Structure 1
């Protein structure tokens, strides 16, 4: 009792108390062990056998049973020490692809580095901790051996189920080496956000490109069609029909004709991202809007591949015009993070009367909700500009 009294007195001098009231009023910082472990099925059986041998040894006093008990306890101790050394001084880095689409398998490269000077690591399971997924759904990769002061390259395959910004929290390295008695894990923090693009839907079934015929103009840039622009030296592997033979004979070298290239018209793709259910359930309406986002991604990808400068206009923002791959990725990133105006799941309030930001020179391709009883378009959606085509969002 005197010893306990001195201990409580020492704790009280440090400002600590073990009374229930103080424990409830003071929030203690959570201590986290650097490594966590759990016993495997083999380990639980091994521990059960060890307990039975210990009971028999203590009851009988038989020296061989004590010797066997010591061997079993030594195996448990050695297993924990070796597994702990295996997980020590390990680093992991990832290499993400430049474009990730929802619903498509993606390969993510991993590089595991063993910083120990002499000891290798064996039987490592490297898992990617992804926010919003259960532990059993984390993608992982197995590494048999990582030598000391060496790196091992591997990869894992994963499918992100939906578009949006996914948060990669880091890695979990697990090992049950050497005897499969215990499985120890260590966590490595490496947070990184990942933008998952919506899966572009094919445009074959949509009446999207009916307006493109006859809408091009000429600009004075090199091309293979159009009016005559200039003469230049012939380049290897070009079409021989572009060679100007008379001029080539006079100059004693191959001279090719340069023609004007047709300029594709700029398209303003307007997407009405408004939560506006018309009798269907919220889940069905959300799925309908997500399919509309995929169709919008497919349309803008097709237009950019055809050389049309495209600007994306939603109820929240407007992008610039562009026709290169980087601009296409920017538009897909906007669609990946797109929210719906009036969505009941949004915490912050949104302006339900939001309209598109358009100019008088915009040639608009509109994706909007169908008015009940027909394909009429609300007047406030396109106050200015030229409407090229209207695509109802509920079009399959």
Structure 2
């Protein structure tokens, strides 16, 4: 008796099995139908014609009914082919700004070697299934890609999680919509709204001026007088001292230092206030005020730092430093526990404190300029005082000097 030969089975790598399983899952869930209002009207008319054909037995009515059925079935078949072999990709910007339109790009690729795709609509959804925008592709040729974008305005700052994309088409007759979903989770950080804070910025600038660091430099204020060194410019000679001492004396000047600003926003609250609607509203206004001040200060090429109950962003300037501050403010939340600030964290030269609540035990104002969000409102892109409020007095420069001393 001849031995039975068992064919040797080739083991498929695990990665290939997972890829095949994912591909089968995509194909199985790719075909979804949605009967639109025009389709329901067509089905109703088709039912009436079919009933008339059955009731009358007229061949002509049967012919009309058959043509309607053929068009309906053919439409479902054509729209299915139109969506085969399509890939979609979303392109997010680095960040967005609340209340400012942002453009989000989408790319649709047709991998088929026959038949272009027509009338493809793409809808973008958040993680909570809320649509955020849509784009339309009139035609995507075979073996090619088409790019477009949609514009979205986010009402609030924060981190928005974009989840899935829906690719749909009703081509050619618009009776049946066929679609498929593509999971493409991404996060978009939305910076706080930037508004005009002219009043508080002018108060800050009038308080600051150009502060001298009392170190030798190239400023305008006199630092001292010393003996002349060979090679120094004659413009620096102090002739009065030269005549008195009978030897050449030159002037030294203070170094002019761009003032550093520290913005303080204490986001520490008690547990009972964390979900209070009024506190949350005032907190959002405070964040907008802090972000707007930081933006204006950085645009003036001056250094600014941010202190919150969750951490510190050291002093710096420029667009990258501003993005770090706005990124932190976009993610800032109300907390019930706070981190302790280092003893040297507060720049005594210029402090702006943005408040949205009463002082808690152990706290006190450190500010040269203070903004209370409870007294402010945002209107027409500007930070304004609420009607009926009296303007706060300008800061007293001597108070900061006493603190620094």
Q: Taking structure 2 as the reference length, what is the TM-score of the superposition?
A: 0.69
User: Offset of 1:197 from its aligned partner?
Assistant: 0.3
User: Offset of 1:174 from its aligned partner?
Assistant: 1.6
Number of equivalenced pairs: 316
Partner of 2:264: 270
Partner of 1:185: 179
Partner of 1:393: 373
Partner of 1:41: 37
User: Which digits, 9 at most, give the CA deviation of each residue in 1:359-389, with x for residues without a partner?
Assistant: 2362143223564xxxxx6673469xx7543
The correspondence for 1:108, drawn from 101, 104, 123, is: 104
User: Offset of 1:193 from its aligned partner?
Assistant: 0.5
Alignment of structure 1 residues 375-390 onto 2, 5 Å: 380-381=362-363, 387-390=367-370
Structure 1 vs Structure 2 CA RMSD: 3.3
The separation in 2 between residues aligned to 1:99 and 1:151, in whole angstroms, is: 25
8 Å contact kept, 1:46–1:181: yes
User: Which digits, 9 at most, give the CA deviation of each residue in 1:176-222, with x for residues without a partner?
Assistant: 1101111122111111001000012322122333432132548999x
User: Offset of 1:80 from its aligned partner?
Assistant: 0.3
The separation in 1 between residues aligned to 2:212 and 2:374, in whole angstroms, is: 30
Partner of 1:70: 66
Secondary structure of 1:200 counterpart: coil
8 Å contact kept, 1:140–1:156: yes
The correspondence for 2:344, drawn from 345, 350, 360, is: 360
Alignment of structure 1 residues 155-304 onto 2, 5 Å: 155-206=149-200, 207-217=203-213, 262-275=256-269, 282-304=276-298
Partner of 1:141: 135
Instruction: Flag structure 2 segments of 5+ consecutive residues without an equivalent.
Output: 1-24, 222-232, 234-252, 377-405
- Tell me whether 297-306 or 259-268 shows the greater mean CA deviation: 259-268
User: Offset of 1:355 from its aligned partner?
Assistant: 5.9
8 Å contact kept, 1:356–1:382: no
The separation in 1 between residues aligned to 2:340 and 2:370, in whole angstroms, is: 15
Partner of 1:90: 86
User: Offset of 1:167 from its aligned partner?
Assistant: 0.6
The separation in 2 between residues aligned to 1:277 and 1:116, in whole angstroms, is: 58
User: Which digits, 9 at most, give the CA deviation of each residue in 1:327-364, with x for residues without a partner?
Assistant: 111110111111112xxxxxxxx32xx36513236214
User: Offset of 1:276 from its aligned partner?
Assistant: 6.6
The separation in 2 between residues aligned to 1:198 and 1:69, in whole angstroms, is: 60
